[in-house]
Structures are given as structure tokens and as C-alpha cells.
């Protein structure tokens, strides 16, 4: 169809970029980029005029591109072009060009291959820069001088790390050096685009690899200094603390074996974010990070805002995970009491399973024996959680007696007394003094009211 239409118009046509790369990698992709020597818009019109299938064609005159959707396939048509860049912007000056010029301006050799769709050599691979070999050697390399490629479009530095992390590739040495020397230019890229790539790194099979690269290349400190600050070890009196950056990465990689959930992965990334700010050396105890979970939770909205991440339920979820991340661990190190488990269930609600996954991933130590011991205790916490959950149904708990019930029963107005009684009921249930039932809670409320000099006016069942 494309071949026929392009032949009629006498316009050579090629499929280029990501689709070719994915085909050679054996990955299925439904996004196709088509480069035409001529007008992409004209070719798209010609193709759709003969289409009987349901489709949607969008034309972007300013960019000279046409986007065709057929089912879940998305095909982008563009005329071959050459680009030149200015120092202060990612937006290039674009002119018509040859296929070679078009391909040479692309980011990596693995993305700079084309397949002919022309009748005379249909299906032949055009690979001027050794992209196929780089795919085999698992190498990220730029077609031109990497200093130019990265300086032209600094987002490509993030893309290099993203592809390396997603595909488990290496970044070529010259390329890596060029990224290092251009790292500060990432500032001209919008935070939204940086985060698009960063999230793809986080979602790769072992995100730790990409994060280490981002740090080593000097990119991380440019857009996420709080994470970069976790790196480093201080020694006082011969006592050193863990390198919290590498610890965080290990936690993230552990967790990534268990879940693809982006926000749970973010929680792992940020769980110790306040360690640098809370670090202290105490001669007796050694290094401490008291309250890092509280301060960490407090830092989350500011970090999300700066990184242009959603300030909605996702942010609240990450904040909650950071706040609670030590709780199951503390439980596993002490005797597991019913009331401590009840409190944890009460605070974590439906996120309890995610919290347990995070905490289990957080158990890292050089000492195998210690890890085994912790994991065993952790299993006990899980069992206890199940038992208490079945018995007390505390997940997403609603108190059996509401503030309204208290006001009606004692015929009082909203105020301090209502709060005191409500808290007393909640504490009694969490401590296991009374069961999580209406009748027991009502009797308890009456007793508490009496202590405050109140008598019930109404009886509820
Ligand atoms: N490209 C580039 N520089 C960029 C972005 C893209 O040179 N900053 C080129 C690459 O040749 C890339 C093609 O444009 O293959 C299409 O880009 P895009 O659709 O963003 O990425 P894909 O390579 O298709 O990969 P993915 O879908 O995983 O993002």
C-alpha cells in the first residue's frame, strides 16, 4: 500500500528509527516512523484516499508531518530533513534533506537504521553507522561526534541512559565522556521530558543500573540533587555508615523483582531521602538517622512539585510509604504484639501489602545470616497481619461509633469532649482492650462519658 502510493508519486520511502531497532531485537512495536524523500503529508493523503478501513489521519502542517492511526497502529509520515541546532534551545532549524542527512542527525546508531519500502529493493536494510553490529554488541553509540549529538539535543543524554537501562546495553566510552561534559546542558530540557525518560529508567528490569549511570555521568545532580546527596560514606572513630545511594539502589532492584508498579518503585527510591539531613554521629550508638522517615515524608510534596510529578493520590501514596517504611521492620525485630500489628493495619489500610513488599526489599546487609533472620521474622509479621486482619477487619477501618453517635447519645455539641471519647474508643480497639464491635464500643463510650461527667440521653443499638 505504502510502496504503491510512494511509487505512484515517485517519492522514495523508508521505515526508520525505533521500529527497525525493535524489529531486529525481536520486539513488537506498533509505532512506525516513515521517511519520504518528498512530502510526508502528500504521501499520507495518497495512501488514505485508497483506504477502505477505518482510520484517522491528522496533519501537522507546521511540522510537515502526518499521523495515521489504523486500529492500534500509529504511522508517522515525514519528509527527509536535515537539522541544525542553536546553543540555547532543543528546537532545531529544519530544512529538506536526503535520507543520509536525515539518518545522520538521529540520536544513536541503533536508531539510525532504515528499511527500504521501495519496489526495487523492498526490505533491504540501510545501516550506514553500524547499528546492527551495535545491537549485537549491546552498545549505545552516536552516529556523529557524540559531543555534537548531545549538545544539539541534551535530552539524548537521558535517552542514552534509558536505552542502556531498558535493554541492558553499555554506553560507548566516548559517548559517556561526551555526556559528562555536556551534563549541565540538561537544564535546557523541560522537567516533564526529563521525567518521561526517568520514569522509563525506573520501569526498566533493573533500574539500579540506569540510576548509577545517571549519577556517574553527572546528570543526577543536575535535576535531582536530593537523590545524588545520598551518595558517600563518612567515617568517624573508624565507624562508617552505609552508602545510602547504593543501598537505595539495591532496595529498588530488590523491589523491582517483585513489582512493576511505578509508584511503589518511586517509594523505594525515596524511602531514605532524608538520611543526609538527619545524619548524626553519637559516640555510643555510632551513626543514626533518627526521624528520617518523618522528615522524608515531609519532603515528598516539594520533590514531586519540583520534578513536575503528579501532586495527586500518587504523591500521597509515596508520602505514606516513606512515612511507614520502618514500621514492619521494627515489628520484625521485636516481639510482634497484636496491638502493634493492629496499629500498622489501621495506618496502612489497603496499602499494607505494598508496604510489606517495600520493607522486605529494604532488608539488605552484607551478612547473609542476618538477612535470613530478618526475613524469617518478617514472615511472622505477615502471618500475624493475616490473622489480625481476619479477626479484627481493621483494613480501611471505620470506627464502630462515630462523632455523630457520641453527640446524639450525650446530647452535646461538637467540641473537645467528642474528640476525647472518639480517640479513647479508637485506642481501646487498637490496644485490644475491647473488640472492634458496636455494642462493646458503645458500652465503652458510656463509661468514658461518665468520666467526663456526661450521662447518656439516648440508647443506640
Ligand atoms: N530521535 C532522536 N533524538 C531524540 C528523540 C528521537 O534522534 N531526542 C529519533 C531516533 O531515531 C528515534 C526516533 O527519533 O528512534 C523516534 O523517536 P521516539 O519515537 O521518541 O523513540 P523510539 O526510538 O521509537 O523509542 P521509544 O518508543 O522507546 O521511545
Report pLDDT for 343: 87
Nearest to 180 by CA among 222, 135, 208, 232: 222
Contact 275, 247 (CB under 8 A): no
φ/ψ of 401, rounded to 5, equals -120, 125
pLDDT of residue 19 exceeding 90, the answer is yes
Report pLDDT for 461: 53
What is the CATH architecture of 1-136?
2-Layer Sandwich (3.30)
Nearest CA to ligand 1 atom 28: 18
Nearest CA to ligand 1 atom 12: 17
Report pLDDT for 371: 83
Burial of 235 (0-12, 13-18, 19+ CB in 10 A): exposed
pLDDT of residue 397 exceeding 90, the answer is no
- The set of cell numbers assigned to 272 is 531514605
Cα radius of gyration (the chain): 30
**Which region among 75-84, 290-299, 412-421 has the lowest average model confidence (pLDDT)?**
75-84
Report pLDDT for 308: 97
Could you give the CA distance from residue 449 to residue 461 in angstroms, rounded to a whole number? 17
Residue that has been written with the C-alpha cell 546492527 in this structure: 132
Report pLDDT for 99: 95
Atom in ligand 1 nearest the alpha carbon of residue 155 = 8
Query: For residue 407, what are the contacts with CB-CB under 8 A and spacing of at least 6?
Result: 413, 414, 418
Nearest CA to ligand 1 atom 3: 107
- Continuous segment of H or E residues that includes residue 126: strand 125-126
Nearest CA to ligand 1 atom 23: 18
Report the predicted TM-score, pTM, of the whole model to 2 decimal places: 0.88
Atom in ligand 1 nearest the alpha carbon of residue 106 = 7
Rounded distance from Cα 230 to ligand 1 centre (Å):
32
φ/ψ of 13, rounded to 5, equals -140, 145
Rounded distance from Cα 22 to ligand 1 centre (Å):
12
Query: For residue 312, what are the contacts with CB-CB under 8 A and spacing of at least 6?
Result: none
Report pLDDT for 124: 97
Residue that has been written with the C-alpha cell 512539585 in this structure: 305
Could you give the CA distance from residue 441 to residue 372 in angstroms, rounded to a whole number? 41
Rounded distance from Cα 237 to ligand 1 centre (Å):
51
Nearest CA to ligand 1 atom 24: 18
Atom in ligand 1 nearest the alpha carbon of residue 112 = 11
Rounded distance from Cα 18 to ligand 1 centre (Å):
6
Could you give the CA distance from residue 250 to residue 267 in angstroms, rounded to a whole number? 13
Alpha carbon 127 to its chain centroid, in Å, reads: 34
- The arithmetic mean of pLDDT across residues 200-220, rounded, is 98
Nearest CA to ligand 1 atom 26: 18
Rounded distance from Cα 19 to ligand 1 centre (Å):
9
Nearest to 127 by CA among 109, 141, 108: 109
Rounded distance from Cα 5 to ligand 1 centre (Å):
25
Report pLDDT for 370: 81
H-state helical runs in 35-85: 40-49
Question: How does the average pLDDT of the chain come out, rounded?
Answer: 92
Burial of 224 (0-12, 13-18, 19+ CB in 10 A): buried
What is the tens place of the pLDDT at every residue in 111-163?
999 999 999 999 999 999 999 999 999 999 999 999 999 998 999 999 999 99
Share of the chain above pLDDT 70, in %: 98
Nearest to 362 by CA among 353, 371, 351: 371
Atom in ligand 1 nearest the alpha carbon of residue 153 = 8
Query: What is the total residue count of the chain?
Result: 461
Distances (CA, A) of 76 to 20, 66, 284, 417: 14, 6, 65, 67
User: Strand, helix or coil at 150?
Assistant: helix
Rounded distance from Cα 49 to ligand 1 centre (Å):
28
Atom in ligand 1 nearest the alpha carbon of residue 159 = 8
- Continuous segment of H or E residues that includes residue 137: none
User: Strand, helix or coil at 77?
Assistant: strand
The CATH 3.30.460.10 portion of the chain extends over 1-136
pLDDT of residue 6 exceeding 80, the answer is yes
Nearest CA to ligand 1 atom 22: 18
CATH level 3 topology of 138-223: Hydrophobic Seed Protein (1.10.110)
Report pLDDT for 134: 98
Rounded distance from Cα 36 to ligand 1 centre (Å):
17
- The arithmetic mean of pLDDT across residues 4-16, rounded, is 93
pLDDT of residue 368 exceeding 90, the answer is no
pLDDT of residue 398 exceeding 60, the answer is yes
Contact 322, 296 (CB under 8 A): yes
Nearest CA to ligand 1 atom 19: 18
Atom in ligand 1 nearest the alpha carbon of residue 200 = 28
Could you give the CA distance from residue 112 to residue 404 in angstroms, rounded to a whole number? 68
Nearest CA to ligand 1 atom 25: 18
Contact 12, 6 (CB under 8 A): yes
pLDDT of residue 334 exceeding 70, the answer is no
Confidence of residue 391 (pLDDT cuts 50, 70, 90): confident
Rounded distance from Cα 16 to ligand 1 centre (Å):
10
Strand partners, 89: none
Distances (CA, A) of 425 to 124, 334, 451: 76, 26, 13
Neighbouring C-beta atoms of residue 436, cutoff 10 Å: 18
Report pLDDT for 338: 82
Could you give the CA distance from residue 124 to residue 114 in angstroms, rounded to a whole number? 8
- The arithmetic mean of pLDDT across residues 255-262, rounded, is 97
Report pLDDT for 458: 64
Neighbouring C-beta atoms of residue 63, cutoff 10 Å: 12
Confidence of residue 11 (pLDDT cuts 50, 70, 90): very high
Rounded distance from Cα 109 to ligand 1 centre (Å):
11
Atom in ligand 1 nearest the alpha carbon of residue 19 = 24
The CATH 1.10.110.30 portion of the chain extends over 138-223
pLDDT of residue 394 exceeding 90, the answer is no
Pocket test for ligand 1, best of 15, 18, 169 (most atoms within 8 A of CB): 18
Report pLDDT for 205: 96
Residue that has been written with the C-alpha cell 527500504 in this structure: 116
Burial of 165 (0-12, 13-18, 19+ CB in 10 A): buried
Ligand 1 binding residues, C-beta < 6 A:
17-18, 31, 33, 106-107, 111, 153, 155-156, 159
Share of the chain above pLDDT 90, in %: 73
What is the tens place of the pLDDT at every residue in 290-332?
999 999 999 999 999 999 999 999 999 999 999 999 988 777 7
Rounded distance from Cα 108 to ligand 1 centre (Å):
9
Confidence of residue 357 (pLDDT cuts 50, 70, 90): very high
- The arithmetic mean of pLDDT across residues 87-109, rounded, is 86
Rounded distance from Cα 106 to ligand 1 centre (Å):
8
Report pLDDT for 369: 84
- The set of cell numbers assigned to 372 is 535470613
Strand partners, 369: none
Amino acid at each position: 500500500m505504502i510502496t504503491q502510493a510512494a511509487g505512484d508519486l515517485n517519492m522514495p520511502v523508508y521505515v526508520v528509527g525505533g521500529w527497525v531497532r525493535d524489529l531486529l531485537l525481536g520486539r513488537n512495536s506498533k509505532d512506525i516512523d516513515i521517511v519520504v524523500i518528498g512530502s510526508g503529508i502528500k504521501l499520507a493523503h495518497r495512501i488514505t484516499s485508497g483506504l477502505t478501513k477505518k482510520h484517522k489521519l491528522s496533519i501537522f502542517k507546521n511540522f510537515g508531518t502526518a499521523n495515521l492511526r489504523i486500529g492500534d497502529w500509529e504511522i508517522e509520515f515525514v519528509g527527509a530533513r536535515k537539522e541544525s541546532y542553536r546553543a540555547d534551545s532543543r528546537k532545531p532549524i529544519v530544512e529538506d534533506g536526503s535520507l543520509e542527512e536525515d539518518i545522520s542527525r538521529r540520536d544513536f546508531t541503533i536508531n539510525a537504521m532504515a528499511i527500504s519500502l521501495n519496489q526495487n529493493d523492498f526490505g533491504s536494510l540501510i545501516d550506514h553507522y553500524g547499528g546492527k553490529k551495535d545491537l549485537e554488541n549491546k552498545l549505545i553509540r552516536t552516529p556523529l561526534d557524540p559531543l555534537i549529538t548531545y549538545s544539539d539535543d541534551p535530552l539524548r543524554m537521558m535517552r542514552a541512559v534509558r536505552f542502556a537501562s531498558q535493554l541492558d546495553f553499555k554506553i560507548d566510552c566516548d559517548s559517556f565522556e561526551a555526556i559528562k561534559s555536556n551534563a549541565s546542558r540538561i537544564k535546557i530540557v523541560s522537567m516533564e521530558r526529563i521525567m518521561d525518560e526517568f520514569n522509563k529508567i525506573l520501569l526498566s528490569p533493573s533500574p539500579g543500573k540506569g540510576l548509577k549511570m545517571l549519577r556517574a555521568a553527572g546528570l543526577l545532580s543536575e535535576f535531582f540533587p536530593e537523590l545524588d546527596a545520598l551518595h558517600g560514606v563518612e567515617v568517624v572513630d573508624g565507624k562508617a555508615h552505609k552508602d545510602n545511594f547504593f543501598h537505595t539502589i539495591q532496595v529498588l532492584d530488590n523491589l523491582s523483582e517483585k513489582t512493576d508498579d511505578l509508584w511503589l518503585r518511586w517509594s523505594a527510591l525515596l524511602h531514605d531521602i532524608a538520611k543526609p539531613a538527619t545524619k548524626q554521629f553519637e559516640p555510643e550508638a555510632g551513626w543514626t538517622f533518627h526521624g528520617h522517615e518523618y522528615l522524608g515524608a515531609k519532603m515528598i510534596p516539594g520533590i514531586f512539585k519540583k520534578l513536575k510529578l503528579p501532586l495527586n493520590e500518587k504523591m500521597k501514596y509515596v508520602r505514606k510509604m516513606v512515612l511507614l517504611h520502618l514500621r514492619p521492620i521494627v515489628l520484625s525485630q521485636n516481639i510482634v504484639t497484636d496491638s502493634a500489628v493492629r496499629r500498622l493495619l489501621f495506618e496502612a489500610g489497603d496499602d499494607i501489602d505494598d508496604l510489606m513488599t517495600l520493607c522486605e526489599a529494604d532488608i539488605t546487609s552484607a551478612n547473609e545470616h542476618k538477612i535470613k533472620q530478618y526475613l524469617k521474622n518478617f514472615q511472622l509479621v505477615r502471618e500475624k497481619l493475616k490473622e489480625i486482619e481476619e479477626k479484627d477487619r481493621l483494613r480501611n477501618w471505620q470506627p464502630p461509633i462515630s462523632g455523630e453517635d457520641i453527640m446524639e447519645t450525650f446530647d452535646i455539641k461538637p467540641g473537645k469532649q467528642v474528640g476525647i471519647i472518639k480517640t479513647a474508643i479508637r485506642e481501646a480497639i487498637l490496644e485490644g482492650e475491647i473488640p472492634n464491635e458496636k455494642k462493646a464500643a458503645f458500652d465503652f463510650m458510656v463509661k468514658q462519658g461518665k468520666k467526663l461527667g456526661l450521662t447518656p440521653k439516648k440508647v443506640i443499638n
